[in-house]
């Protein structure tokens, strides 16, 4: 699964890498958690690439209240096309959540040790995702929300956990937005090369924030 990540690159880097049209503002964040708002890229109504802010935890359009989104932070690649909560968004509302790295926890005896995972080039990358709009029938309030797609871990990430988010470089991100389902299926193209290192357990608390959360407290995971 993917339950925590970071996005701290300057907005200009994301604009250049992912072809976003127009400026956007995003404060550096090192401990993004479910129900918080994330920065995503999607194709607008006129085909332009736009940045948007989405609540993490997809709320299906048919939901009675938004609390259902709290447990819909991840969608499994193997079933996303069939699940009632996701299948409509899978067909019509794809996006790419921007990140510089995500966290995963490896079990060490009775403890879970957090690791921070980035690309080997330390560049921002994308996470395959879906988005949806939910409307409160009583107030008319609109909430746009998102879920991250997860898949079986590759050989490297499997040393930490058996699942991982679908990581996309800019070219793969464009292909995902264009409707390429093969990116999340068996035999999908390789995700960007990743590297991971252990970090302090303070990241376990979503209230903690700051650049020091991604500092290594041990050696990187060997290949």
Res. 188 pLDDT band, cuts 50 70 90: low
Pull the structure tokens for residue 75: 């969608």
Strand 74-76 and strand 142-152: the pairing is parallel
Tens digit of each residue's pLDDT (9 = 90 or more) over 17-39 = 888 877 778 899 999 999 999 99
Structure tokens at 166: 């679908």
SS3 label, residue 12: helix
Q: Is the pLDDT of residue 185 over 80?
A: no
Read off the pLDDT of residues 34-54 as tens digits, 9 standing for 90 and up: 999 999 999 988 778 999 999
Global pTM reads 0.95
Q: What is the DSSP string of 135-167?
A: E-TTT--EEEEEEEEEEE--TTGGGT-SEEE-E
Structure tokens at 29: 């964040």
The pLDDT of residue 15: 80
Show the domains of the chain with their CATH numbers: 5-104+122-191 (3.90.1680.10)
DSSP 8-state assignment for residue 202: G
Helices 11-18 and 170-177 cross at an angle (nearest 10°) of 60
- φ, ψ (nearest 5 deg) of residue 12: -60, -35
Provide the percentage of residues in the chain whose pLDDT is more than 70: 98
Where does the pLDDT of residue 187 fall: very low under 50, low under 70, confident under 90, or very high at 90 and above?
low
Distance CA 122, CA 8 (A): 11
pLDDT at 165 over 60: yes
In the chain, % of residues over pLDDT 90: 79
8 Å CB contact between 80 and 90? yes
Q: What is the pLDDT of residues 98-155, one digit of tens each?
A: 999 999 999 988 899 999 999 999 999 999 999 999 999 999 999 999 999 999 999 9
Statement: residue 196 has pLDDT above 70: yes
* Mean pLDDT computed over 178-183: 89
The kind and range of the H/E element at 128 are: strand 125-135
Catalytically active residues are 2, 104
């Amino acid at each position: 699964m993917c339950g925590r990540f970071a996005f701290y690159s300057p907005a200009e880097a994301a604009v250049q890498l992912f072809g976003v049209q127009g400026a956007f503002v995003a404060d550096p964040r090192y401990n993004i958690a479910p129900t918080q708002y994330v920065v995503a890229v999607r194709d607008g109504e006129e085909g332009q690439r736009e940045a948007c802010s989405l609540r993490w935890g997809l709320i299906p359009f048919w939901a009675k209240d938004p609390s259902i989104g709290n447990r819909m932070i991840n969608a499994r690649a193997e079933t996303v096309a069939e699940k009632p909560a996701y299948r409509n968004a899978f067909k019509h509302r794809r996006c790419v959540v921007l990140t510089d790295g995500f966290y995963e926890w490896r079990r060490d005896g009775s403890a879970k040790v957090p690791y921070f995972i980035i690309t080997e080039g330390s560049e921002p990358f994308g996470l395959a995702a879906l988005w949806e709009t939910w409307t409160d029938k009583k107030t008319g309030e609109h909430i746009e929300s998102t879920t991250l797609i997860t898949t079986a871990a590759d050989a490297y990430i499997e040393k930490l956990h058996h699942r991982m988010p679908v990581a996309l470089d800019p070219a793969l991100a464009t292909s995902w937005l264009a409707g390429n389902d093969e990116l999340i299926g068996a035999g999908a193209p390789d995700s960007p090369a990743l590297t991971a290192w252990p970090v302090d357990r303070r990241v376990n608390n979503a209230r903690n924030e700051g650049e020091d959360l991604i500092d290594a407290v041990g050696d990187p995971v060997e290949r």
